[in-house]
Amino acid sequence: MTFKEQLQAAQRQLKKMQDALSLMLLFEDGKRYDLVYDMAFEFAYESEKLTMLAREIPAYTGHPGAKERMDAQVADVMPISIELTSEGWFKMVIPVLLPRKERGNQSYIRDNLYPAMKRFMEEQPPIRFEKSVIVFRHVYNRQRPERLYRDHDNIELNAVVNVVALYLLRSDGPKHLEHYYCAVCGEADSTEVYLIPQDDFDRFRVALKSSELDAPESKIIQL
């Protein structure tokens, strides 16, 4: 695709996003909140497709520093916090809820995670977790209606597992990695991701329950 074709593709995608927003406003005026809900997902979907196109445009200019500048801009828009806790557990905080959408691909979240993980690993000695549990804790703004809570399993969560596994795990197969999902209420929407050695998992659950957030409604899924 040429630079001009990329711009034209973005222009077409912008119109789709604007059309979805217009319909959502129309349904809201008519108090058709069932349709507003569906159209909100359509608007988010078209917006994220436009975002993906927009992120590629600077590279089409041929400037050698385009990727680094775009990575910095992405980090500014969605600042992802990554640390090793005092217990030696890996912790990542993503300032949005995942899953964010019902369809699409994993590029949106991967483009945010890879630069963040790369920066983190450059500042650390080599780290490898053996038999571990990956924990997804979905933190919901306590003002959010419960009907707007989301299903746990989603392609975006799989994308997170893949990125974490690439940098921190010898394998993400079922003999080496278990999955745990829980939901809590807090002050703002976010997704917390932890990587915990299996031997520490009981201690981690105790730490979760004693936190300032509401006690989680949880389920464990062993693959």
Domain ranges within the chain, ordered by starting residue: 1-70, 78-223
Q: What is the DSSP letter of 147?
A: G
Instruction: Classify 49 in phi/psi space as left (phi over 0), alpha (psi -120 to 50) or beta.
Output: alpha
**pLDDT of 145 strictly over 80:** no
| Confidence bin at 167 (pLDDT 50/70/90) | very high
CATH topology for the 78-223 domain = 60s Ribosomal Protein L30; Chain: A; (3.30.1330)
Q: Which residue has the higher pLDDT, 72 or 90?
A: 90
**Strand, helix or coil for residue 179:** strand
Instruction: Classify 183 in phi/psi space as left (phi over 0), alpha (psi -120 to 50) or beta.
Output: beta
Q: Are strands 132-141 and 177-186 parallel, antiparallel or unpaired?
A: parallel
**Strand, helix or coil for residue 215:** coil
**Contact status, residue 133 vs residue 164, Cβ threshold 8 Å:** no
pLDDT at residue 91, rounded to an integer: 95
Cα 184 from Cα 207, distance rounded (Å): 14
* Global model pTM greater than 0.85: no
| Confidence bin at 216 (pLDDT 50/70/90) | very low
| Confidence bin at 212 (pLDDT 50/70/90) | very low
Cα 120 from Cα 91, distance rounded (Å): 11
Q: Are strands 217-221 and 90-94 parallel, antiparallel or unpaired?
A: unpaired
Angle, alpha carbons 14-18-21 (nearest 5°)? 140
H or E segment and range at residue 108: helix 107-122
Residue at 202: amino acid letter: D
**Contact status, residue 112 vs residue 72, Cβ threshold 8 Å:** no
Q: Are strands 132-141 and 190-197 parallel, antiparallel or unpaired?
A: antiparallel
